[in-house]
Amino acid sequence: MALQIPASFDACVYFTRRSLGTKGKIVAWVPKEMCKHCGKGVMEKPRDPKTGKIKIRAKEYVCPACNIVVPEQQYEDTLTFSAIYACSQCGKTGEAQAPYKRKKVKVFDEETLKEKTADAVQFLCEHCKAKINVTKKMK
């Protein structure tokens, strides 16, 4: 596959670098995609007209070239999640790509010592077929 880590965080919708257990590590990202309507601009969150800063909490994505507006959920369902990892089960390194769709999984919270449910992107290790979850940061 030969995945390449993006040069800039600005080219990503999502980026994380974490450790998985004692011997596992992961670098995961979701790159922004070109506008499906015009094919010229890269879809991004809208910008504040006064300051020019990106509105982080906006619920839509906008193409700067053709100004088409796409709802956040509809756009994010078309994205691809990419990861370079070292499996926490077998310790081998690998690469994976999966649809960027989060689902509810049970995780163990070490602070409260209880099981919680969290949104996670899930994929399988290419060597031992163990499930690897990349959860949203818990509060």
pLDDT of residue 95: 94
How many Cβ atoms from other residues are within 10 Å of residue 61's Cβ? 22
- 31-81 pLDDT per residue, tens: 999 988 888 889 999 999 899 898 989 999 999 889 899 999 999 889 999
CB 30 within 8 A of CB 72: no
Q: Edge-to-edge strand order for the sheet containing 131-135?
A: 103-109, 114-124, 131-135
Find the mean pLDDT for residues 8-21.
88
Decide if pLDDT at 28 tops 90.
yes
- In Å, what is the CA distance from 4 to each residue of 32, 52, 82, 95, 97? 14, 30, 9, 10, 12
